[in-house]
Structure 1
Amino acid sequence: MELVWRALTTADIPAVAALYCAVEAVDDTGELLSEEDFAERFDETDLPGGSLAVLVDGALVAYGLAVLRDNPVNTHRVRLDGAVHPDFRRKGIGRQLLQRLILLARKLHTARHPAMPMVVNTMVESRCAGHVALCAELGFTADRCFNELEVALGESLAQVPIPPAYEIVPFSAARDEEVREVCNAAFADHWGSVERSPEEWAASFTNSKRFVPETSFLALAEGAVAGFVLSRHYPVVEELTGVRELWIGDVGTLREHRGRGVASALLSWTLAQAKGQGYQRAGLSVDSANPTRALGVYERAGFELKRTWIDYGLPVSL
Structure 2
Amino acid sequence: MELVWRPLTTADIPAVAALYNAAEAIDDTGELLSEEDFAESFAEADLPRGSLAVLVDDELAAYGLVVLRDNPAGTHRVRLDGAVHPKFRRNGIGRQLLASLVASSRELHSERHPTMPLTVSTMVESRSAGHVALAEEAGFTAQRHFYELEVALGESLAQVPIPPGYEIVPFSPDRDEEVRQVTNSTFAEHWGSVERSPEEWASSFTNSKRFVKETSFLALAQGAVVGFVLARHYPVVEEMTGVRELWIGDVGTLAEHRGRGVASALLSWTLAQGRAQGYQRAGLSVDTANSTGALGVYERAGFGVARTWIDFGLPVLLG
Output the TM-score relative to the length of structure 1: 1.00
Taking the aligned partners of 2:137 and 2:241, their CA distance within structure 1 comes to 35
2:294 match: 294
Partners in 2 of 1:123 and 1:313 — Cα distance?
9
Letter in 2 for 1:206: T
CA deviation after TM superposition for structure 1 residue 266, in Å: 0.1
The Cα shift of 1:189 comes to: 1.2
C-alpha distance in 2, partners of 1:203/1:269? Answer: 26
Per-residue deviation, residues 44-82 of structure 1 (Å, max 9, x unmatched): 210001000000000101000001111000100000000
For 1:262-290, what per-residue CA distance to the aligned partner results, in whole angstroms no more than 9, with x for missing partners?
A: 00000000000000000000000000000
RMSD over equivalenced CA pairs, Å: 0.3
1:9 aligned residue: 9
CA distance in 2, matches of 1:258, 1:155: 28
Does residue 136 (structure 1) correspond to residue 136 (structure 2)? The answer is yes
Helix, strand or coil for the counterpart of 2:164? coil
| 2:122 aligned partner | 122
Deviations 1:178-237 (A, max 9, x none): 000000000011000000000000000000000000000000000000000000000000
Secondary structure at the counterpart of residue 208 of structure 1? coil
User: In structure 1, what is the equivalent of residue 61 of structure 2?
Assistant: 61
Aligned to 1:108, what secondary structure does the other structure show?
helix
State the one-letter code of the partner of 1:252: G
Residue matched to 2:166: 166
Amino acid at match of 2:304: E
Corresponding residue for 2:312?
312
Q: Superposed, which structure 2 residues align to 1:1-318 within 5 Å?
A: 1-318=1-318
Equivalents in 1 of 2:42, 2:158: separation in Å?
39
**Whole-angstrom distance in 2 between the partners of 1:136 and 1:241:** 32
- Match of 1:164, as an amino acid? P
Report how many residues are paired. 318
Give the unaligned 5+ runs of structure 1. Answer: none
TM-score (norm 2): 0.99
Q: Which amino acid aligns with 2:140?
A: F
Whole-Å separation in 2 of the counterparts to 1:255 and 1:30? 32
1:166 to partner: Cα distance: 0.2
In structure 1, C-alpha distance between the alignment counterparts of 2:276 and 2:67, rounded to whole Å:
37
Query: Partner letter of residue 16 of structure 2?
Result: V
Q: Among the aligned pairs, what percent are the same residue? A: 81
Q: Give me the whole-angstrom Cα distance separating, in 2, the residues matched to 1:189 and 1:156.
A: 34
CA distance in 1, matches of 2:128, 2:300: 29
The CA deviation string for residues 114-149 of structure 1, in whole angstroms up to 9 with x for no partner, is 000000000000000001001111110000000000
Deviation at 1:43, TM superposition (A): 1.2
Q: Please state whether the residue corresponding to 2:226 is helix, strand or coil.
A: strand
Runs of 4+ deviating beyond 2 Å? none
Residue type at the aligned position of 1:236: V
Partners in 1 of 2:289 and 2:90 — Cα distance? 34
The letter of the residue matching 2:87 is D
